[in-house]
């Protein structure tokens, strides 16, 4: 196991002192310029931010990952981020996960432990464990490190669920999905569900106890297609593919409702062994914004495993224009191979 640790004195010293007793004795600490030495390892990213939510060493590392100068092939990772203020810890983590993932790094389900300056984000966990916020933070970091060390990878791909909220007659997103689907082997069972036309009402924010009660039964108070069709399909699949059309730099309302309503099922079981993939088609730009939403909503919060290079992003505006993109069929076939091998 290695820790990738962008030094940011004096803030990073406190984080290192917290982590060192929780790590294996043979753990290696690497700086951002040594990322290539982490290939094939289990990795813990440890990032300490200053009062403005910044770290120059972190941004140098992010730049290297985005440029493709550094590769993390074969790595599986978790991430701990601390901040002196109340903002930016999760945003920094989300940016890092996307960049590292596109550089070949997989991430555990729920890979993030983040602590704001006041530690108020650990108040609920502290109450649950009957301790203070600092101790709750330490316990969360210890739990993450334990899961990372014990992780052996997800089971082979056998049952794939594709979710979308698009119209087949006009959708470039579904055209991209067809390029991928036709290249999946027959051994993979594929189920496709459409969430169009208000089929899934958004979460109404039930009281925690009500959500816990119905979630324990694999249900939701508001019922409907989400409980009758989508929940059973999510339970059954080992791979979830989100088919996302980007119109307003955000997931569509129905896909957002799916993520929100999934909380009820999440109360019953975690999704650590289920892979998450995304196909994103933008009319203009901004596919990375939706990729970050998938990471924060389904990987960081709902615990889906994030395989390397989890997302395929294309730009196509007019009806049918996706099929005219140079090399798109080859990229779709390569993505299908990545799903089966990821």
pLDDT digits (tens, 9 = 90+) for 205-261: 434 444 443 444 444 444 456 788 999 999 999 999 999 999 899 999 999 999 999
Which residues are CB-neighbours of 64 under 8 A, at least 6 positions away?
Answer: 32, 33, 35, 70
Q: For residues 1 and 183, what is the distance between their CA atoms, to the nearest angstrom?
A: 35
Q: Which CATH class is domain 159-341?
A: alpha beta
Identical topology for domains 2-150 and 159-341: yes
Residue matched to tokens 């615990």? 303
Q: Among 31-40, 53-62, 108-117, 163-172, where is mean pLDDT lowest?
A: 163-172
What is the model's pLDDT at position 197?
62
| b/e code 206-243 from CB counts within 10 Å (16+ = b) | beeeebeebbeeebbebeeebbeebbebbeebbbbbbb
Structure tokens at 13: 């010293």
The structure tokens 């409702």 sit at 257
| Residue 146: how many other CB atoms lie within 10 Å | 11
Q: Where are the domains of the chain?
A: 2-150, 159-341
DSSP category for residue 171: -
**Per-residue pLDDT tens over the stretch 13-67:** 999 999 999 999 999 999 999 999 999 999 999 999 999 999 999 999 999 999 9
What span, in angstroms and rounded, lies between the C-alpha atoms of 307 and 277?
Answer: 8
Write out pLDDT tens, residues 253-296.
999 999 999 998 998 889 999 999 999 999 999 999 999 999 99
DSSP assignment of 202-228: PP----HHHHHHHHTTT--TT-SHIII
- On whether the 2-150 domain is CATH 3.40.50.360, my answer is yes
């Amino acid at each position: 196991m290695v820790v990738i640790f962008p030094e940011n004195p004096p803030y990073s010293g406190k984080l290192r002192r917290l982590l060192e007793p929780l790590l294996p004795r043979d753990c290696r600490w690497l700086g951002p310029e040594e990322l290539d030495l982490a290939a094939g390892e289990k990795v813990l990213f440890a990032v300490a931010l200053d009062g403005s939510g910044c770290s120059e060493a972190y941004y140098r590392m992010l730049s290297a990952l985005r440029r493709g100068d550094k590769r993390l092939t074969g790595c599986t990772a978790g991430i701990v981020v601390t901040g002196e203020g109340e903002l930016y810890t999760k945003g920094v983590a989300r940016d890092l996960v996307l960049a590292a993932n596109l550089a070949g790094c997989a991430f555990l389900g729920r890979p993030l432990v983040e602590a704001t300056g006041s530690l108020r984000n650990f108040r609920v966990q502290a109450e649950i464990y009957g301790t203070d916020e600092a101790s709750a933070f330490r316990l969360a970091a210890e739990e993450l490190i334990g899961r990372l060390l014990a992780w052996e990878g997800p089971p082979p791909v056998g049952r794939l669920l594709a979710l979308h909220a698009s119209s087949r007659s006009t959708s470039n997103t579904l055209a991209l999905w067809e390029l991928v689907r036709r290249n999946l082997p027959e051994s993979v069972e594929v189920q496709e569900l459409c969430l169009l036309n208000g089929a899934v009402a958004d979460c109404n924010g039930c009281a925690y106890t009500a959500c816990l009660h119905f979630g324990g039964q694999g249900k939701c108070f508001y019922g409907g297609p989400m409980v009758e069709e989508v929940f059973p399909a999510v339970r059954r699949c080992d791979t979830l593919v989100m088919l996302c059309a980007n119109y307003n730099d955000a997931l569509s309302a129905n896909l957002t409702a799916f993520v929100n309503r999934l909380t009820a099922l999440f109360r019953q079981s975690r999704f650590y062994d289920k892979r998450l993939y995304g196909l994103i088609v933008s009319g203009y730009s901004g596919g990375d914004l939706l990729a970050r939403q998938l990471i924060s909503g389904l990987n960081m919060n709902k615990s889906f495993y994030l395989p390397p290079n989890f997302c395929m992003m294309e730009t196509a505006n007019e009806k049918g224009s996706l099929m005219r993109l140079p090399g798109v069929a080859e990229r779709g076939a390569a993505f299908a191979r990545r799903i089966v091998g990821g």
